[in-house]
Structure 1
């Protein structure tokens, strides 16, 4: 399956108020592995960037002054994502902006016409109910290094989200073992986590028990069986049944 992990930065919060996309970042995965293919583009908006937005992503009006308009890059962008499954954190936000930009520029196609969409925020909320599930919180929860992320950036956030998505969807699970039962007030408990690493992530050596170790283990189970009055279930499971012996 071809997947595109996507993020955008914008001039403000709501495209209905005339706000525009000013940065698009995408990274490609095939078979849950990054291919190295990316799409990254800064876009000159039709309005000034809100000061609040600049404080989040650091992209200024001066920086965008010589960048292409959305209509100049939209075909290349659509060609890159077409037919893929989009992986987006808080997908409604980014898809809403992309669809609005397409409509403004006379394009009839919408994101859902050419792609399927997975919202990692919805996935995270289902998997970690009652906890913080923004990108920074998920990076902390899954041990993903995002120390280089001082400001939001579409391409950088897409690369980080790719790691988060892989962990969310089977690469790792967390089991909270904090018996204190308390919370730091924001629902983002990190203490006592046990994490499972994907089996194919490292080449781990498999060391089978030796004959001597197996014999010692069997002797220990028999001792437990005697002390429990014949109720050692591990011994019963480890020894072949008479019917099986007769067959073989």
Structure 2
């Protein structure tokens, strides 16, 4: 009930009713990732957004979303070594709000899935709240939490490594090579399906392939 009240208050603040579809929860799942100038939502900017949809337990790689956004500050050198996005790569990028609105029209009322999703959502909210008056109202699922819950159930005293590469390895999911928002979203989608479709016999500590 609290979540419903919170969502209703959020909707009442929406300045552009064309985005009311964000509040109309549907059965779609969208996995998304952002690449940014750094790791501080208050100071850093989004460089790119990548997303992919899951339908009927299938990853729709032919219907991915990708947008590059102009940035108006320096890109942290450490972040460039991670995502490889240089200032020259953003020459034809879109205005931030334009690109983010395209992303909102892509996700609509879908459930959002991600790896450390809280950060990506905070980055999106930074742009949309001043303009639309709202924060993302979508239902959200964090894959590292699913992985932790499944692993701790099998090995209660474990010191669980939640690094992305570790989760990929434990789930027997291959690295896609190029590190960008779309590829990260697709790999996260594979993790999500692996963790949610596979049954674990906790009582008998049945081993799985992750």
TM-score by structure 1 length?
A: 0.65
**Alignment partner of 1:162 is 2:174:** no
Q: Distance in 2 between matches of 1:122 and 1:194?
A: 18
User: Are 2:114 and 1:67 aligned?
Assistant: no
**1:42–1:67: 8 Å Cα contact kept in structure 2?**
yes
Q: Which runs of 5+ in 2 are unaligned?
A: 1-26, 153-158
Contact map agreement 1:174 1:194 (CA 8 A) in 2? no
- State the distance in 1 between where 2:76 and 2:199 align: 38
Partner of 1:22: 47
User: 4+ runs of 1 displaced by more than 6 Å?
Assistant: none
Contact 2:170 2:209 in 1 (8 A): no
* Contact 2:35-2:46 within 8 A present in 1 as well: yes
Aligned to 2:75: 49
Q: Relative contact order (C-alpha < 8 Å, sep 6+): which is higher?
A: 2
Paired positions, count: 174
Provide the TM-score with structure 2 as the length reference.
0.76
**Aligned-residue RMSD, C-alpha:** 2.1
Whether the aligned pair in 2 keeps the contact of 1:174 and 1:195 (CA below 8 Å) is no
Deviations 1:170-196 (A, max 9, x none): 236599xxxxxxxxxxxxxxxxx6439
Q: Work out whether 1:32 is the aligned partner of 2:57.
A: yes
State the structure with more CA Rg.
Answer: 1
Spell out, residue by residue over 1:118-143, the C-alpha distance to the aligned partner (whole angstroms, 9 max, x if none): 01122222222422122211111111
Partner of 2:146: 123
- CA deviation after TM superposition for structure 1 residue 69, in Å: 1.6
Secondary structure of the corresponding residue to residue 169 of structure 2? helix
1:1-248 pair list within 5 angstroms: 1-17=27-43, 19-35=44-60, 36-104=62-130, 106-112=131-137, 115-129=138-152, 130-146=159-175, 148-150=176-178, 152-171=179-198, 173=200, 194-195=208-209
Q: Which segments of 5 or more consecutive residues in structure 1 lack a partner in the other structure? A: 176-192, 197-248
